[in-house]
Structure 1
């Protein structure tokens, strides 16, 4: 099996894992909304937080075990596991990166926003590429700009030079002419183009 094929397999694995976590969280949330629950007191709220934290921990453990299994079976190289999150999947990816950034060699955030913690990412120095349309119809580009700035400042506080930070962090805001003449008729659907962009994918697989 060639290295390129291994890379593609690891990407598919990462996307599958993230999608699995997102779908599980969606059905859990949907189940909660359909339950008749009386007004909760402070103790019930704390119990709910503890339960949610336990679930998150279990899901992280599940993801780690899946990664180890894939590596042991020769389907992935531990040092070549990449992740991509788009839209709601990007929010889930940010949560994962905020807890276990060391699971991934590099991460690609497409047309989304950052919902996770920042410090673990800069401590692990996990490279992150942000790409979104300038006028994304769902999120707008401001959330990515804010996340990029926070991460950049945290790296600067570590004493990293600009060239070092630029290797770990990219903010790519696509103007409307990027989408002109393509099959993408709205900017939030830009992931169709992003995953075919040699510059973007070259950055991801270059780590």
Structure 2
């Protein structure tokens, strides 16, 4: 089973009434991959993501970490991963982050809003490769976005596609009670730790990025520094 590069976005709202909350939705019961599970917005990198013109640049630290240890044969770039993350966020939730400017070709959500997608504040939080034996396998990078960077009403999901249902902001202490994939539980724990460290200050990148590497028959846990 081939492993596809993928990007996932954790959108964090630290001003939510119930305390710091993350945006999640439920996959369909008939989905091949993780049916009925609650997940973050995201998906596989498309070929067009490599050429998408973004309205900003990743931070040097995030770009360097995203470039570490690509799987053999992959040509994915940090910019393509960032583009996939923001494209999937727009498609699955209708939420946008950017500033006035030209949208990449085919990005109708951004074109309609007159925005150029900006990945400059994305924080690389986690990486995991799906274990062998699953119906689909991904090399998923989990990227964190502060909800303060969203354009417009963060509670308006009217422009979302139907891939995720029950989109809502979930307080971090409550999120782990949902029906989650195991790796999502682990990522939520990492997010909660980062939020606790930040306190009332700015969200900062972790000292290193946890990496659950299941590319081989024997799983490995590593950190990307």
When the two structures are superposed, what TM-score results if normalisation uses the length of structure 2?
0.23
Select the structure that is richer in strand.
Answer: 2
Select the structure that is richer in helix.
Answer: 1
- The structure, 1 or 2, with the larger RCO (C-alpha pairs under 8 Å, 6+ apart) is 2
When the two structures are superposed, what TM-score results if normalisation uses the length of structure 1?
0.25
Larger radius of gyration: 1
